[in-house]
Amino acid sequence: MAQVKNVEKKIWDVQGFDVNFKYPDGTNVRGDKKDIPQYTKKNATKNDMTVKEWKDANFKKSYPGFDCDVLLGDGSVAHGSTKLGTVRDSYADSDE
pLDDT of the residue at 1: 87
Residue 96 has pLDDT above 60, yes or no: no
pLDDT of the residue at 90: 97
Q: Which of 57, 48, 46, 31 shows the shortest CA–CA distance to 83?
A: 48
Q: What is the pTM of this model?
A: 0.92
Mean pLDDT, the chain, integer: 95
In tens, the pLDDT along 44-83 reads 999 999 999 999 999 999 999 999 999 999 999 999 999 9
Q: What is the mean pLDDT of residues 18-27?
A: 96
* Cα 85 from Cα 90, distance rounded (Å): 9
